[in-house]
Structures are given as structure tokens and as C-alpha cells.
Chains A and B, each alone.
Chain A
Amino acid sequence: DSGVTQTPKHLITATGQRVTLRCSPRSGDLSVYWYQQSLDQGLQFLIQYYNGEERAKGNILERFSAQQFPDLHSELNLSSLELGDSALYFCASSEGLAVYNEQFFGPGTRLTVL
């Protein structure tokens, strides 16, 4: 158990809908990362937050957004869903901003768009 929790574990929805994925980082970790794992794209970095502020952006679509709240949990919002958004979405957390900090991964949320 990494200490990172993600809810829900599975999510099935229809095209055009909007969903919210939730992540609670390990106790004491200030940095949260979101990654997408799909069969065709592999594991890709989406976005990073540090202590409530956006820190870095990767290949995140404009239909997707995220935020980190004062209690440090984070949410990833996916809207106008398309079939291709079906993937496993991971949240990871780390202590701070040092590049050598280890990232601890949650169990993921599997999103299926029908």
C-alpha cells in the first residue's frame, strides 16, 4: 500500500459526459501528479500540482482540468468524454519538488467510456 488513495476504482460512463476522479496523497506529500495509461499512448504525464498551485503541464487535453485543494487532495475533471479517453488514470504524490523525490502511485481509476 503506497498510501495514495484514488476513488472511484472503476467508472463507466457515456460519450459526452463529465466525470471527476479524486486523489488523496500520502500524508505529508505536497506534490500531486496525474498520469494516463492507455494501450496506444502508454503512460503519459498529464499535470502536476504543488501545494495547491499548478506546477507543470504535460499532454493534457483542454477538455481535462485538475485542481489541488487546501487539504492537498486533488481532483481530475474530464469533460465531453470521447471513446478514446478510456484509460487507467493514476495519481502519484511526492514529498516536495526535489527531482530525486520518489513518486508514490495510487491504484488508479479505470475509466470506460461507452
Chain B
Amino acid sequence: AQSVTQLGSHVSVSEGALVLLRCNYSSSVPPYLFWYVQYPNQGLQLLLKYTTGATLVKGINGFEAEFKKSETSFHLTKPSAHMSDAAEYFCAVKLGGAQKLVFGQGTRLTINP
């Protein structure tokens, strides 16, 4: 069963426009949720994470995400896209107390000048 679903394998926005990358999870218990970014030929870098507490999480590079339990979602947003945001973004969860990350299929973000 797919634990994490990222809607849209490719998203293209104009520079300065809102970035919205969608992530839904399936879990009967509150998961730990993460967004990672992968720049070309590099490893994964953590953007932000939700563990407990405040449902709106702020991360690096101006990104934020909101945990919505009722919608089982953890969408990633940024108010104004920069050219440097072009990369692949992965949503991931940790389920049931396990330490392993379960990743979505990734969303490639393209920024148009």
C-alpha cells in the first residue's frame, strides 16, 4: 500500500509565482512527515519536518508546509519562486515508530523566467 502520494510528477511555475507541491499520506496513526529537496547530482537535503505540535511548519529557503490531519495532507508551499528552487522534491513519512523514511515518487519543479 502506498503510504505517500505526491500529486504531479512535474510542476512548472513562473519566477515570483506561488509554489505548491502536494503530498498526501495514508496512515491510521499520526505520522512524522518530511520534505526533502534534491538538486541535480546531489544528495537529499531536509527542507522541513513535522513531528508534533504546531501544524504549520517553516523550513529553509522560505518553504513551509501545513499538516492537515482531516485531509491527510502535508503540502509544501513557497510564496514566491526563485530560479534556484528548481529541483526535485520528495515528501516522506516515518510510520509506526520506525526510523526508515518512506518516500513519495517525487515532484520535479521547474521555474520559468
Residue of B nearest to A90 (CB): B43
Known A43-B106, A99-B94; judge A56-B46 contact (CB<8 A): no
Which residues of chain B have C-beta atoms less than 8 A from A43's C-beta? Answer: 90, 92, 101, 103, 106
Question: Is the beta-carbon distance between A107 and B43 smaller than 8 angstroms?
Answer: yes
Q: Knowing A42-B106, A99-B32, A100-B51 touch, does A56 contact B99 (C-beta < 8 A)? A: yes
Contact with B along A73-94 (1 / 0, CB 8 A): 0000000000000000010101
Measured between beta carbons, the chain A residues less than 8 angstroms from B105 are 42
Q: Find residues 54-113 in chain B having any chain A CB closer than 8 Å to their own CB.
A: 90, 92, 94, 97-106
Q: How far is the CA of A69 from the CA of B99 in the complex (A)?
A: 20
Which of chain A's residues has its CB closest to B41's CB? A107
Cα-based distance from A55 to B98 in the complex (angstroms): 10
Given A42-B105, A43-B103, are A99 and B45 neighbors across the interface (CB < 8 Å)?
no
Say if the beta carbon of A16 comes within 8 Å of chain B: no
Task: Please count how many residues in chain A sit with their CB below 8 Å of the partner chain's CB atoms.
Answer: 27
A94 engages B99 (CB within 8 Å): yes
Report yes or no: B43 in contact with A45, Cβ–Cβ below 8 A.
no
A-B contact count (CB 8 A): 58
A48 touches B99 (CB 8 A): yes
B residues less than 8 Å from A99 (CB atoms): 32, 51, 94, 97-99
Whether B43 contacts A2 by the Cβ 8 Å rule is yes
Closest partner residue, chain B, to A102 (CB atom): B46
Residues of A within 8 A of B17 (CB): none
Beyond A45-B101, A99-B98, whether A107 also contacts B90 by CB under 8 A is no
Task: Tell me the nearest residue of chain A to B46, going by C-beta.
Answer: A102
Nearest CB of chain B from residue A114's CB, rounded to whole Å: 20
Shortest beta-carbon contacts, A-B, top 7: A105-B43, A43-B103, A45-B100, A105-B44, A100-B51, A107-B43, A42-B105
| A-B residue pairs in contact (CB < 8 Å), sample of 16 | A4-B43, A42-B103, A42-B104, A43-B90, A43-B92, A43-B106, A45-B101, A55-B99, A90-B43, A90-B44, A99-B99, A100-B51, A104-B46, A105-B45, A107-B42, A107-B43
